[in-house]
Amino acid sequence: MLKGDLVKLKPKYVQISSGGPLIAILNLKDCEENDIHRGDRIQLSYGSKSVVAIVDTTIDDSFIAKGEIGLTYELSKKIKSKQKINVELVEKPYSLKYIKEKLDGKELNKKEIYAIIKDIVDNKLSEVEVAYFAAAGYVNHFTFEETVALTEAMVNTGSILKLKSKIVVDKHCIGGVAGNRTTMVIVPILASLGLIIPKTSSRSITSPAGTADTMEVLAKVDLDLKGVKRVVEKTNGCIVWGGALSLAPADDVIIRVEHPLGIDAVGQMIASVLAKKKSVSSTHVLIDIPYGKGSKVPDLRQAKKLAKLFVDVGTKIGLKIKVVFTNGKEPIGNGIGPALEARDVLYVLMNHEKQPLDLREKALMLAGQIIELATRRKNGYALAKKALDSGLAYQKMVEIIKAQGKRAITPDEISLSRYHFDIKASKSGRLTYLNNRLISELALVAGAPKDKQAGLYLFKHTKQKIVKGEPLFRIYAENPRKLSFAKEFYERNKKHFAEIK
């Protein structure tokens, strides 16, 4: 097939999933006749719809016959037709040239960055090609102007949640701290005070729980854009998974491709966070940067560097940004893992005697900061505390949960796994250190976040006294097998978990 030529093929829906990329499967004879090769990009269209896919081929006719085209799972969500569809070869995208230039160290302009991001969203770049873009940004860094362009391009190639309010608040934590489920306390506090906070969160990729995983214990989180709008208009806030909303979707592709190597170009990370905020019409955004040994940012100097970038890029795209630097050296809250963290959140919102006070205090501080940023009042902390202590925040959480499709439950209705094991103090003294990273890894080995009831419960925090033989923390796992794996993991690393002096 010479570029621009059309061939008509009959769709066959094959339930194979690639995990992301849109793949079409063609019979080798059709490929040969039409000069199509494996890995080529083709455009499929019928009526006014069209989508670009990457070609795989079948060697014989047993699976996809000549004249047919196999639409894999992800692709079948984009194109639904019983009629023959038009298939046409697509030119190599021009944005490849810009990716190569970035690899060569050139600074890209706004138009070039937009072209790359647009082609990512339109599926015109393969995962390998997106990986080169991620590598280029990682090794050669994105300049300030490039980061701004990247943010704007991500916003402009995705969906936008349009809200009536002139002030829309939001928060983001750059992560790396076990537990730390402040969002689920902050959103109802602020919403109860009349602030609009359409909070979208991610599911965990490498940690024992993301906010979306934890909220899912209490409510539906995979709402679509219309659903989110409805919940926010009704309750002022929401706590949903961002993944189904097509907000800055280029970002999701880049993150997927960055995952195997765990790379995260700073400019890409800033753009990623701010694009998601801008896409839900946020105007005032608080960024929480935990720092210190064991967290993502090792020291205050690095934290301040990152903060400056957030503020500069955010300001440039019309957001009011405030950054707070918090203690990233130890877990926040007692529970680690979706169910255990959800329980902590409810305890705090209910002012329950079992509430973890560190989680309560951090959430109040952050909520107070957001109130002051958005309203210019000076007594943010006091207002947040009043909302919490009065029970208004809890009541708002019940409303939000209901709007997100579930009835509210009490913390003690959250079931935890019956397979658990207590790790006990090997000596008496004062707990001076808990290893954030190992705590998270242990919860992962125990099965979190996939097993929602798995994880850890911390009986003690640093600075507290402990007596030899007293339980330090409890491991929950879905089955005896995983529990023994977790115990083994603990045994192998036990020297580094905690310090008692």
Active-site residues, by number, are: 264
Which position among 66, 78, 100, 352 is part of the footprint of a copy of itself (CB under 8 A)? 100
- Cβ atoms of 117 and 154 within 8 Å: the answer is yes
Nearest to 199 by CA among 270, 286, 291: 286
CA–CA gap between residue 276 and residue 259 (Å, rounded): 19
Q: Is 139 in the site for a copy of itself (CB under 8 A)?
A: yes
Residue 253-272 contact track with a copy of itself, rule CB under 8 A, x = bound: ----x--xxxx---------
State the binding string over 445-474 for a copy of itself (x if CB under 8 A, else -).
Answer: -----x------------------------
One-letter identity of residue 116: I
- Using rule CB under 8 A, residue 33 touches a copy of itself: no
Q: Is residue 18 close enough to count as binding a copy of itself by CB under 8 A?
A: yes
Beta strands in 328-434 (DSSP E): 335-336, 419-424, 429-434
Q: How far is the CB of 444 from a copy of itself (least distance, A)?
A: 12
Residue 78 as a binder of a copy of itself (CB under 8 A): the answer is no
Cβ pair 211, 201 in contact under 8 A: yes
Nearer to a copy of itself, 262 or 318 (CB): 262
Give the CA distances from residue 317 to residues 169, 255, 467, in Å, rounded to whole numbers and listed in that order. 15, 22, 54
222-226: long-range pairs with CB below 8 Å, 24+:
223/404, 225/159, 225/161
Q: Which of 337, 354, 338 is nearest to 455 (CA)?
A: 337
> Which residue in 349, 87, 427 sits closest to 192, CA to CA?
349
Beta-carbon contacts of residue 359 (< 8 Å; ≥ 6 apart):
179, 180, 181, 182, 185, 332, 333, 334, 344, 345, 348
Q: How far apart are CA 57 and CA 70, in angstroms?
A: 9
Tokens of 367: 């909520």
Among 44, 99, 297, 434, binds a copy of itself (CB under 8 A): 99
Is 71 near a copy of itself (CB under 8 A)?
no
Q: Which is nearer to a copy of itself, 73 or 144 (CB)?
A: 73
- The residue type at 110: K
CB nearer to a copy of itself: give 119 or 170.
Answer: 119
Hey, CA dihedral for 327, 329, 331, 337, is it positive or negative?
Answer: positive
Contact between 39 and a copy of itself per CB under 8 A: yes
- Which x/- pattern over 421-440 shows residues binding a copy of itself (rule: CB under 8 A)? --------------------
# of chain residues touching a copy of itself (CB under 8 A):
49
Rank residues 53 and 384 by Cβ distance to a copy of itself and give the closer one: 53
Residue 58 vs 192, nearer CB to a copy of itself: 58
Q: Using the minimum distance from each CB to a copy of itself, give the nearer residue, 45 or 126.
A: 126
Can you tell me which of 421, 485, 489, 497 binds a copy of itself, judged by CB under 8 A? 485
Please report whether residue 132 would count as binding a copy of itself according to CB under 8 A: yes
Return residues touching a copy of itself (CB under 8 A).
2, 14-19, 25, 28, 35, 37-39, 56-60, 62-64, 70, 73, 92, 96, 99-100, 103, 105, 126-129, 131-132, 135-136, 138-140, 257, 260-263, 450, 481-482, 485
